[in-house]
Structure formats: structure tokens, C-alpha cells
Amino acid sequence: MEYIVRFAQTHETFRRPELEALATLWNIELKIVTYSEDSPFCVVRLPSDDVARKLVSRAILVDSVYELWGSGPNYEALHADVKAKSQGKWDKYTTTSFRFNVHGYQCKLTNKEQRPIIESFSYLPFDGPIKMKDADVQFWVFEEYEMYAPSPKFLYFSRFIGPGGRDTVLKYDLKKRRYISTTSMDAELALITANIALARPGGLFYDPFMGTGGFPIACAHFGAMTTGSDIDARSIRGKPNRNVLSNYAQYDLTDYWLDWFISDLTNTPLRISRFLDGIVCDPPYGVREGLKVLGRKDGGGTEAVYINGVAAHLQEGFIPPKRAYSFDAMLDDILDFAAQTLVDRGRLAIWMPTANEDIELAIPEHQCLKLVANCIQMFNKWSRRLLTYERLPDELVGELIPRTKRIVEGSNADELNNFRRKYFEGFKPSTPSEK
């Protein structure tokens, strides 16, 4: 059966990956018939109304889903298609209450303009009462216009099946959250990330750069058990009544929160292999301050230090030494960590920034990980991408080839982070010698 998925016209490069991820999550046979980032209407094939309703129920970028009864470039073709394809369904709705709606994309229709459109469907044998509120069945006519065009370029006639999950965004709006920081991820994008990462009941999801907990909270909303860590304990601890745990309590999600710990990814205490169902993260970009990891520049500081018989790192006010860290090396370390800790088909969803001129640069790769989605959020002169990888089963990986450790020369933040340098240069075009 064919259905219309009506997308929100925002974050266009995320819409199809989110829908396909949800189909993967529920093992739904999804066939995308027509899709364009320039249109909110996507025609798909699905087994039944119940499956269609379930598919979009938690999709953040889906407004609603409809059973497609007909389509065409004009009303003559639309009516002919409705009569040819849907006539066998008419008897089911002859006595039920119903309502007609007309919606124009990139064109607003007045009530006066809608009336003749609705009346053109008078051949349908619907004798039930018309209800403008709480009707048993809703029928929708969609007109799709080019910008400023006087007439629609395409038309759809459909029956409403169910809403998407966009209302969830309002619940997690950062403006209403008790504890956030200047770098807290937008709630809508955090929920989309959790969907693409396949957050689900029974799954264990981890954020190694959790900050104020935006991604773990989004995963917990979908029923996943969550945990996280951060090199800066202050961001997690917050204050007594304003911290990550208070955010979980605000949304009644404390049952889905395991615990947190202080660590950077290169010094993680996690040693269990292949136990995570998902990793979701937005690593620091190193713009406000250079990227750092635990350790000293000279590689020393590994020996234990005692003060009055007490280990220095256990004393109140202890601040561990940190050294500059390469952004490229961080990406490699994240992929290595994901390959070592994700279960088969587990997913890594990671955000990374890039200058717009470098948008087609090579995406980080790993022998054990398959890239399944590449979504782009554009800003003025730079962008950030949500890269989603899937852990391949060992039998599909073959013989492991040792990865060559990337050598990044430099000792300060700008030398170790090409994106930071370009950010403060205003993203000027690169010279041939820089490329």
C-alpha cells in the first residue's frame, strides 16, 4: 500500500535517514517511492495502516502520515487517479463521519478557494455526517506549489492515518530545562540523533562528552538505559538542585540513568569489549578553548604523588594536568573506541564541524564501521555533520588491518585543530599550499 509521509520542512538532510533508521529499528519493510529535500511530501510503500502509524509515531521530523488515494499534476488527472486506484475502498466509509481538509505547500488557500476543491470530490459516496471536530475519518487534499507559482505543480488526495512525533520537541525544549550550558544541543536535534542511533528499550547508550546530558536524556526518552562521562566534572555535577540528575528527574527518567564518571576518551576506564548498543556524542570543537586530554606535554606525570600520605588525585580541589589534543586524532580515537565497544549492528552517531569549502572532504573511516547516514546542518560559513556508523559483525570485517596512528604536528590549539584556525580566520578560502 502507498502512503504519504508529510515531513516538516526543516533539517532536510536528516529526514530520510531518520525514517529509514526507524524502519530498521522495528524491522519494517519500507520502500521509498518518491522523495525530494525540496518537498515535504514523500510517497512510500508499507504493509498496513498499523505499520505506517507505528513507523512515524516517534519520528521527530514527520508531521503525519496518510494513505494515498490518488495523485496527479492537475485536478483532472487527480480525480481520474482517485477513481482508478481507490474505488474499492469507498464502501468502507459511506456512513462514517468525515471531514475534508485542503492544504497548500508554499501557497495559502482561503476558505472560499477551498470550497470548490472539496466539492469536486462529490462523486465519492460518503453519506455520513460532516464533522469539523472529532470526525471518524479525515481526508486531505495537498497542493504543492513552486515558489510564487500561480497554480500547483502536483496534487495528492489521501486519508489521514496518524501523527508523527514532533510534539516531543516541546517537552524537551531547552528553554524549559532546569540545567543547560551554552553548548547544550538543541532538543530537536538531540532527539533526531537518538532516533538515527536506534535508541530503544533494553539498549545501553553512552555519551563520552555528555556535558549537561542532552543526548543521554534523548535516548532515555525512547526507553534506553544511559550513561556518560566528561573530562570536566563541573558540567555534570552542576549545583545541588541544577545538574544532570535534576534534568532526568524533571522528565521522570531517573530509572534510565545508570551513572557517570570523569574521563577523557583516551583515558577511559571502560575495558569491557562489545557491550554498548549505541554511542551518541557531540565532541568539543576546540573553538572557545583548545581541545585537551589528561596528561602532560612531556608524557610524564604518570607516577603517583602523595601529600601527607594521601594520593594527590584523591584530595579536594585536585585539578589533573591536561595537554593539547588534535581534533583529527580525537575523531580517530572515537572510531577506534566504537569499534572496540559496540555490539554487532550497534551505532555510533557523532557530530563533527567543517568549513563549508571543505564539505566534501574525506569522512573518517574504520574497517569495522560502516557509514549509514551523513546529515548536514548548514550555518553561514561553516557546517556540522551528523555521521552515523554501524558496527559490522566480525565475519564481515575480515582480517583486521592495524590502523596507522595519524601524526599531527603542532603543540598549540591552532596547529592541532584546522577547523579552529579557520574559524578565527573567518573561513577565508584556502590557498593551494594549505590544501
Q: Is the dihedral of CA 293, 298, 303, 306 positive or negative?
A: negative
The pLDDT of residue 23 is 98
Q: Please name the residue that has the C-alpha cell 469536486.
A: 120
Q: Name the pTM for this structure.
A: 0.90
The pLDDT-based confidence of 435 (bands split at 50, 70, 90) is very low
Which one, of 119, 82, 118, lies nearest residue 2 by Cα? 82
Query: Distance between CA 311 and CA 75 in Å, rounded?
Result: 80
Helix locations, 75-232, DSSP H: 75-86, 111-119, 167-171, 187-196, 214-221
Does domain 2-164 fall under CATH 3.90.1300.10? My reply is no
Mean pLDDT taken over the chain: 90
Q: What residue spans define the domains of the chain?
A: 2-164, 173-291+326-425
Taking 70 as the threshold, does the pLDDT of residue 96 lie above it? Answer: yes
Percent of the chain's residues with pLDDT above 70: 89
Q: What is the pLDDT of residues 293-317, one digit of tens each?
A: 777 766 666 677 888 888 877 777 7
150-200 pLDDT tens trace: 999 999 999 999 999 999 999 999 999 999 998 899 999 999 999 999 999
Distance from the first to the final alpha carbon of the chain: 50
Instruction: Return d(Cα 9, Cα 319) in angstroms, integer.
Output: 47
Q: Are 158 and 142 contacting, i.e. CB atoms less than 8 angstroms apart?
A: yes
**Contact call for residues 177 and 95 (beta carbons, < 8 A):** no
291 contacts 324 by C-beta, under 8 angstroms: yes
Q: How far is CA 121 from CA 78, 97, 116, 236, 433, in A?
A: 10, 16, 9, 59, 66
Query: Which letter, b or e, does each residue of 210-240 get, where b requires 16 or more Cβ atoms within 10 Å of its Cβ?
Result: bbbbbbbbbbbbbebbbbbbbbeeebbebee
Provide the strand spans (E) within 194-255: 204-207, 225-230
Confidence (pLDDT) at 232: 86
Q: Is the pLDDT of residue 221 over 60?
A: yes
- The predicted model gives 105-129 an average pLDDT of 95
Between CA 187 and CA 24 the distance in angstroms is 23
User: Which residues touch 319 (CB under 8 Å, ≥6 apart)?
Assistant: none
pLDDT digits over 353-384, tens only?
887 765 545 689 999 999 999 999 998 878 89
173-291+326-425: CATH, from 3.50.50.60, 3.40.50.150, 3.10.180.10, 3.40.50.970: 3.40.50.150
Residue 156 cell numbers, joined: 495528492
Q: Residue 411's CB: how many other CB atoms inside 10 A?
A: 9
- Of 195 and 287, the structure prediction assigns the larger pLDDT to 195
Cell 573511516 belongs to residue: 365
